[in-house]
Amino acid sequence: MATYKAPIDDMRFILHDVFDAESVWSSMPGTAEMSQDLADAVLEEAGKVAEGIMFPLNRSGDEEGCQFDDGVVTTPTGFKEAFNALAEGGWTAFSGNPEFGGQGMPKSLAVLFEEMMHSANCSLALYPLLSNGACLAIDAHATEELKQTYLPKIYSGEWSGTMCLTEPHSGTDLGILKTKAEPLADGSYEITGTKIFITGGEHDLTENIIHLVLARLPGAPQGPKGISLFIVPKFLVNEDGSLGERNGAVCGSIEHKMGIKGSATCVMNFDNAKGWLVGEENNGLACMFTMMNYERVSIGLQGLGLGETSYQSAVEYALDRTQGRAATGAQNPDQAADPIIVHGDVRRMLMTMRALNQGGRALAAYLGLQLDIAKFSEDAEARAQAEDRVALLTPVAKAFFTDRGLDTTILGQQVFGGHGYIREWGMEQMVRDVRIAQIYEGTNGIQALDLAGRKVARNKGASMAALIAEIREWLGTEKGKLGDLSEQLEEALVLAETATANLLEQAQEDPNAINALAVEYLDIVGYVLYAWLWARMIAAVDGRDDEFANSKRITAAFYYERLLPKIHSLYAQFKAGSKNIMALAADQF
């Protein structure tokens, strides 16, 4: 059976010892009340919520799935009660705006809580996490009246939120969407069209569902510059805040999926539904990106969270399952065989999982702190730098976390051998559940294009150069604590610089270059970032001789010796450019 215990000790270590988060929080009015003791208490309670409320429903939710009957969607048994418990505890409003009932927790804490939620039950986690993203978009772009109408109810968990982008013919290319918005005399709009793949588009967890819908106004410019964003509630809201008549937003069906079966993925039909404009006309895509960027980080954490549960389950199995003898001789001479954790190949798999999970957790916390600075800092220069760092790293976090998440869950399944392929052990569910994370919220190929094209080539590598300069500045002050790792990290930084220069050069000469090179480039950046963060973890345990510190040193050495060298083969692929990729004519495939 799968097992999960929230890795609170590692989360505390990363927040406090690696990043000294309290010093960042105390420097900004919006987070000044968050202390180390309070953060630790929040993490403890969050762990209890994930382990005690969410995780027990993970397998049963997968087996039962969501049910559809004539427009009505029923979530798996126990989901509604669990969602209500999350709402009553304030967990559905974790980092929300306190002005409208949110808890106002720093994002650097929220990323750790979201990892726990995805570890415990990613299907259930998606409902509040989509709502949180909707709240961000409404809070950033809607009128005060719309904020007052919708935000308190979503934060309280009485209502929930969705984002409705994709249409049957329009996925990545949102500029060709066809959903229409017609202005009405009372200032509202009539929304007509069909959206697909809508997470939480219909369910029985809340009394109202607030859809954020992209649509096109009459006479709007063609392409992405002619898209507007609208709030479209399932039930109209009366002036006193009570629910009115049913709106023309109806679920036509739900998808039958490979994984995340407890999450309702809906076809939504908007038939003359009433909606209200969010932000300015024809600026809807920019407004929606407020939500999409939040969700991309969150979905990255889905990969990280499931990787952690797979790792914990694999370790427990490897300690218990007996097969064969250790190469150095019997470790359990009184038994017929030794536990499989004595075997080098099993150790290789477990160490790979451990190194990737802990490196990812450090990157998540770093990104969370940058989000906090971008939101709360009173220093304009610090805010601008943090915003630039967030823009650069969001596609890396989404793609690298989820690609490595699939790698990790497959390794966990492999540790179990044949049992990993059998449903009752729980490992195959994690592989199925994590697979979607590479696809939705922008496929990982799209994330790589975003990084290589928009975030690097567009500003001639300035953002990447600034990040590498930050790493070098840190390395200059801490290298004495790192031993040989400091030279290896510097070599990795040089390769990242070389790859960036090569990307810019090829992009100037070849229109296909960015499409051809982007995935390898993102992976190089991801592995180099993990190397830096493992170096930071080693520096943080300098002078310590306890079990925790020694395990960090061993895992860091494994990462540098066995995983970081992948950047060299990636760069060899990267240098090949687009020539062979584009050489075949379409009809030759």
**3-state class (DSSP) for residue 192:** strand
Residues 6+ apart with CB under 8 A from 316: 3
CA dihedral 145, 149, 155, 156 (to 10 degrees): 150
Q: Which residues pair with 182 in a beta bridge?
A: 190
Pairing of the two strands 235-237 and 159-164: unpaired
CA distance 92 to 134: 12
- Reduced to 3 states, what is the DSSP secondary structure of residue 245? strand
Q: Do residues 130 and 161 make contact, with C-beta atoms less than 8 angstroms apart? A: yes
Q: Which residue has the tokens 């306190």?
A: 98
**DSSP label at 170?**
B
DSSP letter at 450? I
How far apart are the C-alpha atoms of 206 and 198, rounded to whole Å? 16
* Selected catalytic residue, list 167, 308, 441, 520: 441
- CA-to-CA distance for 463 and 461, rounded, in angstroms? 6
Q: How far is CA 199 from CA 126, 204, 218, 281, 487, in A?
A: 8, 13, 28, 25, 46
- The CA–CA distances, whole Å, from 459 to 85, 469, 514, 520, 539 equal 46, 16, 14, 20, 33
| 3-class SS shares of the chain: helix, strand, coil, % to 5 | 60, 10, 25
Listed residue (234, 53, 222) closest to 134, CA to CA: 234
Strands (E), 165-206: 180-183, 189-199
Specify whether the CB–CB gap between 257 and 242 falls below 8 A.
no
Q: Is 417 exposed, middle or buried (0-12, 13-18, 19+ CB in 10 A)?
A: middle
Contacts of 41 (CB under 8 A, 6+ apart): none
Does residue 97 sit in helix, strand or coil? coil
Give catalytic status of residue 441 as yes or no.
yes
- Please calculate the CA angle 298-165-230 and round it to the nearest 5 degrees: 105
Distance CA 160, CA 264 (A): 13
Instruction: Decide: 434 and 307 in contact? Cβ < 8 Å.
Output: yes
Closest C-alpha to 125, from 312, 299, 374, 352: 299
Question: Which residues have a catalytic role annotated?
Answer: 441
